[in-house]
Amino acid sequence: MKKIFLLYFITAGLIIRAQYQKHNFLIPLETAVNVENIYEDWAPSLQNLEMPKPGTHSTRAELMQIKEQNEKRFPRKKISFTNRSGINPPGIMRNFIGNPYNNRVPNDNDLAISNAGQLISVINSTIYIFDVNADSVLKTFTLDAFAQPLGLPHSKYDPKVVYDPLADKFVMVFLNGYLDSTSRIIVAFSQTNNAAGNWNIYALPGNPLNNATWSDYPVIGISTHELFIGINTFTNGSSNNSGFTESCFWQIKLADGYNGHTLTTAYYNNLKPAPTQYDALFNICPVMGGSTSYGPDMYLLSNRNLMAESDTFFVLHVSDTLPNTVITMDTIVASVKYFMPPTARQPNGHTFDTNDSRILAAFIQNDTIQFVQSCLDTASGNAAVYHGFISNLSGQKQIDALILADTLDLGYPNISYAGNGTGDNRAIINVNHSSATVNSGWSAYNYDGNGNYSERKQVKAGNSYVNVLSGIYERWGDYTGSQRKYNENGVVWAVGSYGNQVGGNRRNATWIAELTLNGSSLSIQNELNTGKMLVFPIPAKDIIHAQFKLEKSNYLQFNIYDLQGKLVKQLMREFVKEGENQFSFSIFSLSTGMYFFKIESENQLIYQQKIIKQ
């Protein structure tokens, strides 16, 4: 069923028409999967190592030309960014290495954490479930293994995850395939608050209009009752953002997914901003709730993110829930312009792609929407963060903004509400950082709700520049992850990437951290030693991986003991370098049961972890 709506609203004193099309779909349950029972995981991975060259006809190459023009207009300058306001920077509490590297770029990060402390971290093609209270990995597996019952042999990529604080459940979204015939949007709903338990899985069409397009770049958000998925569509066979058709979004009943019922959905396209001289929307970002979910209405944001500079934003308002929704769209001019972000610098002459200036994250609290996107700081010429504020949502909307800049290049920001409720608009912003002299890592800022920021707090430092693709131009990411811990005021969990050298490989790695507004941190700093070893999967059938960090190089023994303390097997004795390391071993020869895996030096126990052979 297709409906065409012509709506009228007032913007800047003029009555302007907006248009969209709504398509209703019923999506049956495909399968239910118990994560604990995922044993077979082939982890297929296909990665193209070429970046689009200047002069080609991809949108990414066109963006490079715009960036070069902006860099000539606003060359790099040395500017001091100290003494911001005296606000305490975020405190760093529990923090640890995230998903293992999976031979994919860019290093797209997202996470969700439940009130009970179960954390899901996703990158590119892997899912990592961690119990932050028990300090243990519950499960690590790939998107391919998760979706195996669907029988879709195509690439799985771009995972997003969100925690629903009202239902106390998780929702995960990822994509399948790069052609109109193979494109699917996989949507999974946890049946309970146990992320390592049962999930209901659905496959939405990636080409619902049968118009030879496929879906890419998902962005998700939830209201009190529904899931929203922003999506971009591209012509069949296109790549690197060429062949863009339009931005659309899905609206889905959450209760249907949690209960395993047929999904009630609506798909919206042909979303035309007003005035009509603007291009079609490119990227739509749902607005999350601040202290908790809001509804039944929903806001979604877009901007002119492919322009060299702009001051225009589009605010979509979805009123009520399915099937009674109506959409209005406001076109608003902001008080501060945003500019296409420049290419980010790396040491050794390497660089990072910063993509365009799309809105990457947003939340609503106290009748104000806060959002972040990448931009150019015209004063320093550095890649920076555009922090926007949309106020008076029920009346004549207004957008103001502040530019958060640094001596380093900042990219792929995220933001989460961290205040205490009514009248408190404090937030924590996390962002990747890099420069010509500083390896890629990630940092965080406190925002006090009154226009002031803390100094930058480095959460994770890189130990190398990144060099994965051919040439010097590397993919940095498409997004980072951040979520408020809903039952703990002032606490935000975030995930970002950092440059990590393992042997001769210089690549992105993932780091997860618990951040607080109060500025206090754990006494053990992650740059020296996490004090923890991450062992996964537990339980296991074949291979176990152990990730650990040493403060200094040492000769170590890797041993397996039974529960009575008897040595079962010395796996290896080797000189191990300081820094981050990973040790893997087969447990095929072990009998079913429980054991201790220990890393020991000649005179002390370094790490130990109980393991289970299934």
pLDDT digits (tens, 9 = 90+) for 32-42: 999 999 988 87
pLDDT of 84: 66
Nearest CA to 297 out of 274, 258, 324, 269 is that of: 324
pTM: 0.85
Is pLDDT at 52 greater than 90 in this prediction? Answer: no
Pick the CATH number of 2-35+56-516 from 3.40.50.12280, 3.40.50.300, 2.120.10.10, 1.10.287.70: 2.120.10.10
**Long-range contacts (CB closer than 8 Å, 24 or more residues apart) made by 129-136:** 129/35, 129/195, 129/196, 130/512, 132/94, 132/514, 135/532, 136/538
pLDDT of 531: 55
Is pLDDT at 321 greater than 80 in this prediction? Answer: yes
Q: What is the mean pLDDT of the chain?
A: 89
Q: E-assigned strands of 178-236?
A: 184-190, 198-205, 213-222, 226-235
Q: Which range, of 17-26, 195-204, 297-306, averages the lowest pLDDT?
A: 17-26
Supply 612's token pair.
């289970």
Supply 257's token pair.
């997914």
For the chain, domain boundaries = 2-35+56-516, 534-613
Tell me if domain 2-35+56-516 and domain 534-613 are identical in fold.
no
Distances (CA, A) of 458 to 185, 442, 526, 531: 35, 6, 10, 19
Residue 276 — very low, low, confident or very high, per pLDDT cuts 50/70/90?
low
Distance CA 381, CA 79 (A): 10
Nearest CA to 212 out of 233, 186, 184, 232 is that of: 233
Contact, 570 vs 559, CB < 8 A? yes
Return the DSSP state at 71.
H
Residue 232 — very low, low, confident or very high, per pLDDT cuts 50/70/90?
very high
Contact, 314 vs 331, CB < 8 A? yes
Residue 524 — very low, low, confident or very high, per pLDDT cuts 50/70/90?
very low
pLDDT digits (tens, 9 = 90+) for 346-402: 999 999 999 999 999 999 999 999 999 999 999 999 999 999 999 999 889 999 999
Supply 42's token pair.
């082939």
Supply 361's token pair.
């994250």
Specify the amino acid at residue 239: S
Distance CA 339, CA 277 (A): 20
Is pLDDT at 513 greater than 80 in this prediction? Answer: yes
Contact, 334 vs 313, CB < 8 A? yes
Q: Write down the residue that tokens 């940095």 correspond to.
A: 476
CB atoms within 10 A of CB 48: 10
Is domain 534-613 classified as CATH 3.40.640.10?
Answer: no
Higher pLDDT, 535 or 379: 379
Q: Write down the residue that tokens 């606003």 correspond to.
A: 74
Q: Which range, of 325-334, 506-515, 574-583, averages the lowest pLDDT?
A: 574-583
